[in-house]
Structure 1
Amino acid sequence: MQLSILIVNYNTENYIEKFLNDLNDQTLSSDFYEVIITNNVQNEKLRSTILNNTKIQNLNIKIVDSERNLGFGRAMNLAAKIAQGHQLLIANPDLRMLENNYLEKLLKSAESHNNYGIITTQILNDDNKDTSEYRFYEFGNNLGYDNQTNWFCGALLLIKKEIFEKVSGFDPDFFMYCEDEDLCLRIKKLNLPLVKLDELSIYHKGGSSEPLKDYAFYHRWFKSKILFANKHYSSNDFKHILDNIENKAIKKYTLYKALRFTGIAKYKSRYDKWNAMKDCVQKTKIESVDWLYFK
């Protein structure tokens, strides 16, 4: 088995079906890869969706059931444990392949970068903008890695299984968001390169598992941002970050608290955003950072 494609499902069955259809159209024979889906919802919708699609019956698909919603990183780790491929393709469910030889080209390029840490390609959004690579970690810090790409978007990551296991996979402390940054940083610390293949591209819808941008969404997002900073920044830098974002969040929260009653939807969303950030920072300061770690 050359490749294991890992996907996490959380109410994204329709997206997964389209992605599996794309896989079926790939020039790479299904004999060379498997698809492992961790099912983060406790129902049979994913299985019935796959069973009712005759087009994809030739694909080697395995479903791993979780007892509860594990989040992204933990669910990926669960899938990786049973993966048989030498390489793992971490893939979001809402990807669409723009070329039918995408996988074949991806694996061929990986062979020419034998000592890679993580490989990605262009990841295009609805505006045809590439959202695959970033130079700064959370809150504008590059941790001394100047003038270079420091992390890749977790929507699509190719990594050797032995390397994934060497770094113990995704950090389970992250429920969702920033786990891709954390993984890339730990790979960089092994002096393994992050390789971007600009000649290849894939489409990413984005936000399929969390379409509603409400207080709960922003709270999960900011919680992970603060967790990342706590794990990787010095104590002084972390305290400085908390002070700065608390001041900013309070000002924004106060502004949008008044504007949210105007009936304009964006003001309500911005109120939720800065209210969540304010609450995350203040809870961190009051209770200590231990509350961030998921037990």
Structure 2
Amino acid sequence: MTPTVSVLMVSYRTRELTVRALSALRDSCPGTTFETIVVDNASGDGSAAAIRGAFPAATVEELPENVGFGRAMNRAARHARGDWLLLVNPDTEPEGDVVSALVAYATAHPEHGIYTGRTLHADGTDDMRSCFALPTLRQYLAFALGLSTLGRRFRRLGPVFNPEELPGYDRTTAREVPAVSGCLMLVRRDLFTALDGFTPDYFMYSEDIDLCVRAREHGARPVLVPEARLRHLGGASAGTSSRKIVMLLRGKCTFVRLRWTPARAATARTLIAAGVGLRGGLAALLRRKSPWREVWRARRVWLAGWPAPAPAPAPVIKAPSTSF
């Protein structure tokens, strides 16, 4: 039987988390028929074997090298048979039938094309990371002046100084949003195909915003579905905080390089560098340990963004004839 949904997941050194996430989806989401497709980014920890052992009906593609999030998701999508693609991070756990909640809304409102839900902290509060504003120079100016940090700490200042996380949005009702996170994203397969998936220039971070920008040009209107809830541990495969910040900044610099005019992109990079320098400089002045000091030292790396993608490696695939 052809599944309604193809659940896509990328694994990188998250063997236990991936198995647990897939188990939770299977047990918590019985209302919709779905297949599972996992691409393992050369974890080297037995992830692929563990996933095959626990879920013999799953399609598992094992890569000989880590190609990043978006490129791995593109590979997963090639195996998909469902009308809908549901992208889910391995460091998540559903609250209720998240698959059915998203598919029910998408079936009733197919014009949106892209859907997300609420991603939550362990205590059940919103982590404010399932949807984002589109990047603007005002946003980067606030970062350069250190105001985005104040906006994150003081809720009333958030909409003005930290607009990226959409702090003023009511996440308890369905509403259109500028862009959604790849942590939890339902997208029509034909739309994903028309967009050629994620732009391969990205290794990690900002590829989801890029996808939403391009989807909007095809008439999509991303939307948040509050009934779809997912607990998100966050950053399980991203390593140390300084490493994660560097990757985040590389993603941001890649986005402005690809989507903005050269002059506007150069201004954005200057503002980002000013913000990192401010934080790193204050930490050095106060003799405090801070990841921003390491991030500043790595500025040549992240200011350049991600390099052009290498040729795709040959896959090792085990594809079953049945689904969950």
TM tier relative to shorter chain: 0.7 to 0.9
Specify the code of the residue in structure 2 equivalent to 1:293.
A
Q: Does 1:25 align with 2:23?
A: no
Map Cα deviations across residues 89-146 of structure 1 (whole Å, 9 max, x no partner): 01111110111x332232222110122220111111235124212223265289xxxx
Gaps (5+ residues) in structure 1? none
Identify which of structures 1 and 2 has the higher relative contact order when contacts are C-alpha pairs closer than 8 Å and 6+ apart: 2
Tell me by how many angstroms 1:271 deviates.
Answer: 1.1
Q: Does 1:218 align with 2:245?
A: yes
C-alpha RMSD over aligned residues = 2.5
Matches of 2:136 and 2:69, distance apart in 1? 19
Name which of 255, 258, 269 aligns with 2:282: 255
1:90 counterpart SS class: strand
Aligned to 2:8: 6
- TM-score w.r.t. the length of structure 1 is 0.83
Gaps (5+ residues) in structure 2? 141-162, 164-168, 170-175, 311-324
The answer (yes or no) to whether the contact 1:253–1:275 under 8 Å persists in 2 is no
- TM-score w.r.t. the length of structure 2 is 0.76
Map Cα deviations across residues 52-80 of structure 1 (whole Å, 9 max, x no partner): 54xx55xx311001120010000000010
Please give the residue correspondences for 1:145-156 in structure 2 after superposition, counting only pairs within 5 Å. Answer: 149-156=177-184
- After TM superposition, the runs of 4+ consecutive aligned structure 1 residues lying more than 4 A away are none
Specify the code of the residue in structure 1 equivalent to 2:205.
Y
Matches of 1:81 and 1:185, distance apart in 2? 22
Tell me by how many angstroms 1:175 deviates.
Answer: 0.3
The answer (yes or no) to whether the contact 2:101–2:227 under 8 Å persists in 1 is no
Please give the residue correspondences for 1:1-295 in structure 2 after superposition, counting only pairs within 5 Å. Answer: 1-28=3-30, 32-41=33-42, 43=44, 45-50=46-51, 53=54, 56=55, 60-99=57-96, 101-126=97-122, 128-129=125-126, 130-137=128-135, 140=139, 149-214=177-242, 216-259=243-286, 262=287, 264=288, 267-277=289-299, 280-281=302-303, 284=304, 292-295=307-310
Tell me by how many angstroms 1:21 deviates.
Answer: 1.4
Tell me by how many angstroms 1:161 deviates.
Answer: 0.9
1:186/1:51 CA distance change after superposition, 3 Å: closer
1:25 counterpart SS class: helix
Matches of 1:182 and 1:204, distance apart in 2? 22
The answer (yes or no) to whether the contact 2:40–2:62 under 8 Å persists in 1 is yes
Identity %: 25
Matches of 1:181 and 1:49, distance apart in 2? 32
